Structure 1
Amino acid sequence: MWYDRKEEGYVDLAISARPNSSKNAFAGIYDDTLKICIKAPAVEGAANRELVKFLAKSFKIPKSEIRFLSGETGKRKRIRLPLNEKVEEFINGK
């Protein structure tokens, strides 16, 4: 499963980041991970910063609420975000 709901009002996402893409976009679910294309290159944390910015804007969450659980230096990441209405709609495919 590409997401894991936590009782504390959070959700953990398994993300496969694709840096150096033409635009920031959700690309779908592949191999139990959410594939996200990111414009920024994977240099000195630029792609991670762009990923956090994209998730914050997409789900209307403050950037400070988004946490890396693992994978900061790789393409496969686990990220924790607060579970709000936008995130719930995305998970449920609405």
Structure 2
Amino acid sequence: MKIQVKVKPNAKQQKIEELEDGSLVISLKSPPVDGKANEELIKLLAKKYQVSKSQISIQSGLSSRNKLIEIVN
């Protein structure tokens, strides 16, 4: 399964919003430094979809706010 995600780092609280087109807007507490926001994103998605962190990968947008995430079941 592939998901379009827009990340908002340095937010006051973590939250996941689902848009009508199926993409997600995810607010993260972590700053976008040294991959911390990406780590938090993967952890949050693993919890939401109840899969292990190793089943989630960032296909594109590693250093961008807009990312393409792949979840392998």
Q: Same fold (TM over 0.5)?
A: yes
Identity of aligned residues (%): 33
| Partner-residue secondary structure (3-state), 1:20 | coil
Q: 2:45 aligns with which of 42, 47, 55?
A: 55
Q: Which runs of 5+ in 2 are unaligned?
A: none
Compare 23-32 and 53-62 and name the one that shifted more. 23-32
Q: Which runs of 5+ in 1 are unaligned?
A: 1-10, 84-94
Aligned partners of 2:20, 2:30: CA distance in 1, in Å? Answer: 21
Runs of 4+ in 1 over 6 A off after TM superposition: none
TM-score scaled by length of structure 1:
0.70
Q: Alignment RMSD, CA only?
A: 1.7
Q: Kindly report which structure 2 residues correspond to 1:57-76, keeping only aligned pairs within 5 A, or say none.
A: 57-76=47-66
Give the structure, 1 or 2, with the largest relative contact order (CA under 8 Å, sep 6 or more).
2
Aligned partners of 2:37, 2:16: CA distance in 1, in Å? Answer: 14
Q: 1:16 aligns with which of 6, 30, 40?
A: 6
1:26-46 CA-to-partner distances (Å, cap 9, x unmatched) read: 123278741111111111100
TM-score scaled by length of structure 2:
0.89
| Partner-residue secondary structure (3-state), 1:23 | coil
